[in-house]
Amino acid sequence: MTPADLTIGIDVGGTKIAGGVVDASGTVVAEARRESPAAHPASIADSIADMVAELRTSHEVAAVGVAAAGFIDLDRREVMFAPNLAWRDEPLLALVSDRVGLPTVIENDANAAAWAEHRFGAGQDARTLLMAAIGTGIGGGLVLDGQLFRGGFGVAAEFGHLRVVPDGRICACGLHGCWEAYGSGTGLTVRARELAVADPGSAALLLELAGGDPAAIRGPLVSEAAERGDPASLQSFRELAEWIGQGLGSLTAVLDPDVIVVGGGVSESPALELDVIVASYGPAVTGFGHRPVPAIRFAELGNKAGLIGAADLARG
């Protein structure tokens, strides 16, 4: 295997930085992980550089791709805004490339994941791929006719910030009523806490896992409790799936994809049922029953999609 066959992908999130050496077939051949110093932009760049150095000790690589949870400008040089990280007009490309000394590409994390699913995962047969990445928020990615669609300024497919409930819950972006305030891991947690307060009996197991404190409920606890049959947790996941389906229905009216991929960390919970997403999706699509509709699938590459996609984009 030549160095040109290997690139490094780095996926920077709000709580962790995951990296890997990836070959031309999308296989991750080595991995590394760090905690994300989310409040300190320079420290994030330092952590990325440390991870690249670690991965290069055992593999000769040609380039680095960074999947960043934020709005990337059209030239792929700057993180203009990141809801869950301290990036504001941050020159991330220069910060990373100067530190690693290799050709570097930066891309939005959901765009990178969508590209990975198109190249190597659940959307390999798609002409128009729409990906919704359900995590702490909702990321989005679009692949049109084999090309990653980035829009006029680089920030296309930020589906999570569609306004679905006027004057609704506040979102991490600062606006009210965004889709991700309801159809994400954050929305799941908020709803589970509401149910635990309103009907503690239905959330007995969930509250036990949270030490009796509704404020201590987190997404992983809701998932664990749902898998063990906790009624409030199961209801929270059912409502989450309905929100996801409804949002995808609205996006179909605009984009008319032939494949929809639902990914992100929350999608990996067995409690999130694809059948419920599909059942909620249909009534939200204008002309349903009289028009072709896309295949809706769960992603295949799991939490490695972002780094795989970033590594492949770095390959050029």
| 65 token code pair | 């791709």
- Domain identity same for 251 and 311: no
- C-alpha 234/C-alpha 274 separation (Å) is 14
Stretch among 12-16, 36-40, 91-95, 306-310 having the lowest mean pLDDT: 36-40
The yes-or-no verdict on residue 1 having pLDDT over 70 is: no
Residues 6 or more apart in contact with residue 131 via CB below 8 angstroms: 110, 113, 114, 117, 123, 140, 141, 142, 143, 260, 261, 262, 263, 299
- Domain identity same for 175 and 189: yes
Q: What is the mean pLDDT of residues 53-66?
A: 96
- Domain identity same for 151 and 269: yes
Would 137 be classed as within a structural domain? yes
- Domain identity same for 153 and 97: no
The yes-or-no verdict on residue 245 having pLDDT over 80 is: yes
- Domain identity same for 163 and 272: yes
Confirm if 104 and 314 have CB atoms less than 8 A apart: yes
- Domain identity same for 201 and 266: yes
Q: What digits encode the pLDDT tens for the residues 129-150? A: 999 999 988 999 999 999 999 9
Would 36 be classed as within a structural domain? yes
At residue 203 the predicted structure's pLDDT band, cuts being 50, 70 and 90, is very high
- Domain identity same for 51 and 193: no
Would 279 be classed as within a structural domain? yes
- Domain identity same for 100 and 178: no
Q: How many percent of the chain have pLDDT more than 90?
A: 89
Would 120 be classed as within a structural domain? no
Prediction pTM value: 0.93
Residue predicted with more confidence, 191 or 43: 191
- Domain identity same for 176 and 252: yes
Q: What digits encode the pLDDT tens for the residues 247-264? A: 999 999 999 999 999 999
- Domain identity same for 287 and 195: yes
- Domain identity same for 35 and 171: no
Would 276 be classed as within a structural domain? yes
Q: How many percent of the chain have pLDDT more than 70?
A: 98
What pLDDT does residue 4 have?
Answer: 64
- Domain identity same for 237 and 308: no
Q: What is the CA radius of gyration of the chain?
A: 19
Element at 92 (helix H, strand E)? helix 92-100
Would 223 be classed as within a structural domain? yes
Mean residue pLDDT of the chain comes to 94
Q: Parallel, antiparallel, or unpaired for β 88-90 and 64-68?
A: unpaired
Q: Which domain holds residue 55?
A: 3-115+304-315
At residue 38 the predicted structure's pLDDT band, cuts being 50, 70 and 90, is low
Q: What digits encode the pLDDT tens for the residues 167-181? A: 999 998 899 999 999
Domain count, the chain: 2
Would 18 be classed as within a structural domain? yes
The yes-or-no verdict on residue 3 having pLDDT over 80 is: no
Q: What digits encode the pLDDT tens for the residues 253-301? A: 999 999 999 999 999 999 999 999 999 999 999 999 999 999 999 999 9
What pLDDT does residue 2 have?
Answer: 64
Phi, psi (deg, nearest 5) at residue 32 = -150, 165
CATH number of the domain to which 247 belongs: 3.30.420.40
